[in-house]
Structure 1
Amino acid sequence: MIRVLVSDPISEQGLGKLLEADDIQVDIKTGLPEEELCSIIGEYDALLVRSQTRVTSKVLDHAGRLRVIGRAGVGVDNIDVPAATQRGVVVINAPDGNTISTAEHTFAMMMAMARKIPQAYASIHRGEWDRKTFVGVELNNKVLGIIGLGRIGAEVAKRAQAFGMKVLAYDPFLSPQRADSLNVKQCTVDEIVVAADFITVHTPLIKETKHLLAEREFGMMKDGVRILNCARGGIIKEEALVEALQSGKVAGAALDVFEEEPLAKDHPLKDFPNVVLTPHLGASTEEAQINVAIDVAEEVLKVLRDEPFKNAVNLPSLPADKLKQVEPYLALGEKLGKLAAQLVDNPVTKIEITYSGDISNLEVAPVSRTILKGILSYHHGAEVNFVNAPLVAEQSGIQVVESKTGKHSVFTNLIGLEVTTPHQTRRVAGTLNNGFGPRIVRLDGFAIDASPEGRMIVTSHVDQPGMIGRIGMILGDAGINIATMQVGRKEVGGKAVMVLGIDNPATPEVVREIAEIPSILEVFHVEL
């Protein structure tokens, strides 16, 4: 008998297929402390959780039978995914179940903010009949800027167009063809903040989107702009939003998520009558709770019955012999993908992966998936996993080409990656060096030797005396220690690249200061 443990409250209606299966016993035991979970987890083949249960390495140490962990939702922060992967346990999530719920909540918040509905409701309950104070604005003919046009952003765009809104959209993987199909105008973030009457964000919270809307962006916006965030707290810098509300630059805001949750009792956002706040309700509908449960239950059932599944957060199981052969290359592939993603500024149109040397004799499909996941998940977060990465690339209009070239003239094994956008092409390559592990050995045709880990400053510049010293001075003044340095060039006085490993993160101000050095062509702050 296959045994499944449900350790968090999950819709039993959504668990239907698991509960109805004759060969599966489902035990629902919620609120278990870690020690008690450790004491019983060894009896189970599958574990289903939401966000309360923490599936730690310690828990997994006791899970000798466990084959799959299902997360009824998107985020897997409460699951030690690397530890699960190391033990051969598949981690499944449900990225699609709350799409409509979150899109509808976004639009409900937009309407409530535009027409001041919560404030008018409170006024009525105070015994007032005040029609003048609550004059709102129409959505018709207004410009809506959507930052992040994934599943949820696209659904918001459809609803906005039904209300007669003109939609501007930014997404790092938005192709012109997809923009046309959704009837949106493709823009940069700066173009959106300048032109939009309403701005809504639908991105994951990553380094590139942390405080995506801050003082600079608010300063560029129209007077009377209205702001929404039903995605992740931290995308909008709350201090900057408060200042913009105080000055009158922002006429209203509607927020479902916050940098720290629950929202503090004395948070200044609570002081504004033109701000609508809800306690992270984007996925809180009966249908969404059922849908995520259905999705994860069906996927877990497929894993348990050795059928194809699609929503694995970690690498799906492979035959032991093949996994052992390619496993050393998986981390290298994902790091190369993440590096390339941070070196391009425009939507990717083509990804070319080349395998040379010993690796060309192996089954490299899993490595290609890790590369795609590294590139796509940098901007799309948990929506992209090892299983659906090729499909996400296809849906984004990205051409993926994979080739093998046999022996390499220099390296025993080499993975080459070329990422093309409408305006540029980036090339990175890496190898496994005996005794040193994964290494980055090529960057845009220049030979380097860098470890793909931690934080980096990556520059291209004109090769001339003093460049290293000037950058070092800026980093030193900012209290940033240089841990490693690699410089590559082809000729004296020509173009060169530099990769600096740094111990502390470089702020956007530090990066801009480096970019202002004469002869600096490009500079990037990279985190691997």
Structure 2
Amino acid sequence: MYKVMIRDNMSPIAREILEATGKIEVVVDNNKASNEPEVLAKIIGEYDGLAVRSGTKVKGAAFQNPGRLKVIGRAGIGVDNIDVPAATERGIVVMNAPGGNTVTTAEHAVSMMLALARHIPQATASIKGGAWDKKRFMGTEISGKVLGIVGLGHIGRVVASRAQGLEMKVVASDPYVTKEAATSMGVELVTLEDLLTRSDFITLHVPKLEETRNLIRKESIDKMKKGVRIINCARGEVVNIDDLFEALSSGKVAGAALDVFPQEPPDFSHPLFSHPNAIFTPHLGASTDEAQDKVAEMIARQMVSYLLDGVITNAVNFPSISMELIGPMRPYLILAERLGSMMGQLSRQATQLSVTYSGAVADFDTRVLTHAVLKGFLGAFTDTPVNYVNAPYRAKVKGIKVDETVTQKTEDYTNLIRISLPGVKGALNEVWGTIFAKKYQRIIRLGEIYVDAIPEGAMLIIENEDRPGVIGSIGNLLADRGVNIGRFHLGRREGRAICMVNLDTPVDDAALEDIRKLSNIISVNYIRLD
């Protein structure tokens, strides 16, 4: 029975979905005192999953004793309240729910733009104050104006569609969108500088990245039209509020509408909050009943898929695998992990790992397979827990360089995974594996010698001179010690041979030492591929 904690007054839909499985116990804890990392640290270790919105701070001290925690689900898109690197280091999947609040956030941006254009918040406050001051709140029409959208992702595209319905001319800047894609939406794709100089309204829809921090600052504002209006429903760090205040005060910027701030809650003593041409909402972009139901449903279903089926969707620290792909991909995942484990057990001195995927396996997201290789490789010689999520981090900490090559070239096999250890000397520094009939795993080459072995269970890997009597002496020695051979695979090349022996029962160190003493034996390795 798995156990999941739901926090931050999440929609009850999440609890319903989790409990409906009959395999997940749910605890709802909306105590704000345990939003803080120090308090959270005392309780999360007994849970397999943690579902949060933006209130709970899963950072720093929260990871002191993660215990059973396997997955953190953020019902929303932003993960600013979660220390993703710390979670990754501990092998905890961090998921979000992108798309669940797309329409809601886009509608909020358009609402802010309209409110800004017609001074609706200020006029409302004036009326409530007993004044009837029509001349003071002269607005501007939206129709025919140029709207510049910075970031043409999911939300930006919905904003574009709504703005076109208002008969605005829409231009956009986004380095990850092609002109053809933008044109198909009726949007003119331009450079950021062009957008700044042409737009009457500018709305921001970019993630928080180093290159987007302070994107709107004095230098960028100087390039804008006099009288421009700025809307930010993305991330607070995108706008430098000191420079924005100066631009409002000088009249360069006619108005600003902010839903997000560099610090939340913000410092209300900042002069921006008393400026008459600035309007605000307290991060309400995703705050509709419909959006909260959608993101709660998304994150609950994703957590169920991961906990019960091992399917990872919308993870921010691991490549996602859809339910449709996990079945066909599973044999390759197992093979990749076992090949990595074999290399880790054969050579624990590697500082470089080269992985090549060719043929049909290249159609999958090979990043996931490389995670599996690293999980097997590192798990062979470390007592620190390693899983698919934290394997790349563990490799980096150990100074292991990982090179990945993907090619459709098939050579002699329809699919092939090759792992080599470039800096390791010796005959056992490379392994090739393949999948037959979409499910049967085979090792087809070890070092320079071709073989046909099944990578599973306890195995002996023996290098020997290709002389008469070697196989018999190995078999007799194992039989004398009551060790039954399940399978025996032999490969030969230029006077040398490799025996790969699947064993039904394990062997002890004394038996291994006796095999090493046999004539014509070069090396003996005992590995386990469980």
Range class of TM-score, shorter chain? 0.5 to 0.7
Matches within 5 A, 1:422-433: none
CA deviation map 1:251-296 (0-9, x unaligned): 1111111223222222121232121111211111122222111110
Q: What residue number does 1:474 align with?
A: none
2:355 equivalent in structure 1: 359
Structure 1 stretch displaced more, 20-29 or 221-230: 20-29
Mapped to 1, the partners of 2:293 and 2:73 lie a distance apart of: 14
Work out the CA distance in 2 between the residues paired with 1:237 and 1:66. 37
For the pair 1:403 / 2:407, whether they are aligned, the reply is yes
CA contact (8 A) 1:228 1:254 kept: yes
1:100 matched residue in structure 2: 103
Read off the aligned partner of 2:210 and give its amino acid letter: K
Which structure 2 residues correspond to residues 81-230 of structure 1 after superposition, within 5 A? Answer: 81-230=84-233
Q: Which has the larger radius of gyration?
A: 2
**Cα distance, 1:237 vs structure 2:** 2.0
Paired residue secondary structure (2:260)? coil
- Which deviates more, 160-169 or 91-100? 91-100
Instruction: Tell me what 1:15 maps to.
Output: 15
| In structure 2, C-alpha distance between the alignment counterparts of 1:180 and 1:299, rounded to whole Å | 34
Identity rate, percent: 46
CA–CA separation in structure 2 for the residues paired with 1:82 and 1:289 = 26
> What code does the residue aligned with 2:26 have?
V
Q: Distance in 1 between matches of 2:300 and 2:422?
A: 39
2:133 is aligned with what amino acid? D
User: Match for 1:3: what amino acid?
Assistant: K
User: Deviation at 1:139?
Assistant: 0.5
Say yes or no: does 1:251 pair with 2:250: no
Task: State the match for 2:24 in structure 1.
Answer: 24
In structure 2, the CA distance between the partners of 1:188 and 1:326, relative to structure 1 (3 Å rule), is farther
Long gaps (5+) in structure 2: 322-329, 342-351, 371-388, 390-404, 412-417, 425-530
Does residue 277 of structure 2 align to residue 274 of structure 1?
Answer: yes
For residue 67 of structure 1, report the CA deviation from its aligned partner.
2.9
How far apart, in 2, do the equivalents of 1:369 and 1:199 lie? 39
Contact residue 357 and residue 407 of structure 2 kept, 8 A: no
Partner of 1:75: 78
Deviation at 1:59, TM superposition (A): 4.8
Q: Which has the higher contact order (CA 8 A, sep 6+)?
A: 1
SS at match of 1:167: strand
Are the equivalent residues in 1 in contact too, given 2:75–2:295 (CA < 8 A)? yes
- The one-character-per-residue Cα deviations of 1:187-240 (angstroms, maximum 9, x if unpaired) are 001101111111111111212112212222222221211111111112122222
Structure 1 residues 326 and 137: alpha-carbon distance in aligned structure 2, compared to 1, 3 A threshold: farther
Q: CA deviation at 1:81?
A: 3.0
Amino acid at match of 1:15: R
Q: Distance in 2 between matches of 1:57 and 1:432?
A: 38
> Normalized against structure 1, the TM-score is what?
0.61
Select between 206-215 and 222-231 the one with higher mean Cα deviation.
Answer: 206-215
Per mean C-alpha deviation after superposition, the further-off stretch among 261-270 and 190-199 is 261-270
Task: Quote the Cα distance in structure 1 between the aligned partners of 2:85 and 2:336.
Answer: 19
Q: Which residue pairs with 1:234 in the alignment? A: 237
Conserved? CA contact 2:205–2:233, under 8 Å: yes
Output the amino acid matched with 1:46: G
Cα distance in 2 for partners of 1:114, 1:124 equals 18
Shift of the 432–134 alpha-carbon distance from structure 1 to 2, 3 Å rule, reads farther
Question: Judging changes above 3 Å, is the alpha-carbon distance between structure 1 residues 152 and 23 closer, same or farther for their aligned structure 2 residues?
Answer: same
Deviation string for 1:402-430 (max 9, x for gaps)?
427899xxxxxx99xxxxxxxxxxxxxxx
Out of 154-163 and 34-43, give the one that drifted further. 34-43
Q: Deviations over 1:399-456 (max 9, x none)?
A: xx9427899xxxxxx99xxxxxxxxxxxxxxx9878xxxxxxxxxxxxxxxxxxxxxx
- Once the two structures are TM-superposed, the CA of residue 42 in structure 1 deviates from its matched residue by 4.0
* Contact kept? 1:106, 1:156, Cα under 8 Å: yes
Deviates more, 1:188-197 or 1:29-38: 29-38
Three-state SS of the structure 2 residue aligned to 1:296 is helix
TM-score (norm 2): 0.61
The superposition leaves residues 339-363 of structure 1 with CA deviations (integer Å, 9 ceiling, x where unpaired) of: xxxxxxxxxxxxxxxxx99422697
State the shift of 1:44 in Å. Answer: 2.6
SS in 2 for 1:205: coil
Q: What is the deviation of 1:34?
A: 5.1
SS at match of 1:15: helix
Partners of 1:203 and 1:370 lie apart in 2 by 30
- Distance of aligned partners of 1:259 and 1:45 in 2 relative to their CA distance in 1, 3 Å threshold: closer
Matches of 2:356 and 2:167, distance apart in 1: 54
**How do 1:332-411 residues align onto structure 2 when only pairs under 5 Å count?**
358-360=354-356, 368=367, 402-403=406-407
SS at match of 1:283: coil
Q: What is the CA-CA distance between 1:40 and the residue it aligns to?
A: 4.4
Which residue identity is paired with 1:255?
A: L
1:79–1:239 CA distance, 2 compared to 1 (3 A):
closer
Q: Determine the structure 2 residue equivalent to 1:322.
A: 336
* Distance in 2 separating the partners of 1:61 and 1:126: 52
Asked whether the 8 Å contact 1:358–1:406 carries over to 2, the reply is: no
Counterpart-to-counterpart distance in 2, 1:139 and 1:191: 20
Question: 2: CA distance between counterparts of 1:105 and 1:150?
Answer: 16
Taking a change above 3 Å as real, the CA distance of residues 4 and 432 of structure 1, as seen in their structure-2 partners, is farther
Query: Match for residue 50 of structure 1?
Result: 53
Deviations 1:461-484 (A, max 9, x none): xxxxxxxxxxxxxxxxxxxxxxxx
Are residues 183 and 46 of structure 1, via their aligned partners in 2, closer, same or farther at CA, if it must alter by over 3 Å?
A: same
Which residue identity does 1:124 align to in structure 2? I
**Preserved contact between residue 120 and residue 134 of structure 1 (Cα < 8 Å):** yes
Between stretches 21-30 and 151-160, larger displacement belongs to 21-30
The verdict on how the C-alpha distance between 1:240 and 1:141 changes in structure 2, with shifts beyond 3 A counting, is same
Q: Distance in 2 between matches of 1:370 and 1:149?
A: 31
Give CA deviations for 1:38-57 in whole Å, capped at 9, x if unaligned: 45444332221223334357
Task: State the Cα deviation string for residues 315-365 of structure 1 (Å, max 9, x = none).
Answer: 2698577358679xxxxxxxxxxxxxxxxxxxxxxxxxxxx9942269775
Aligned pair count?
358
Q: Residues 62 and 188 of structure 1: is their aligned pair in 2 closer, same or farther, counting only changes over 3 Å?
A: same
* Segment of structure 1 superposing worse, 262-271 or 72-81: 72-81
Counterpart of 1:207 in 2: which secondary structure? coil
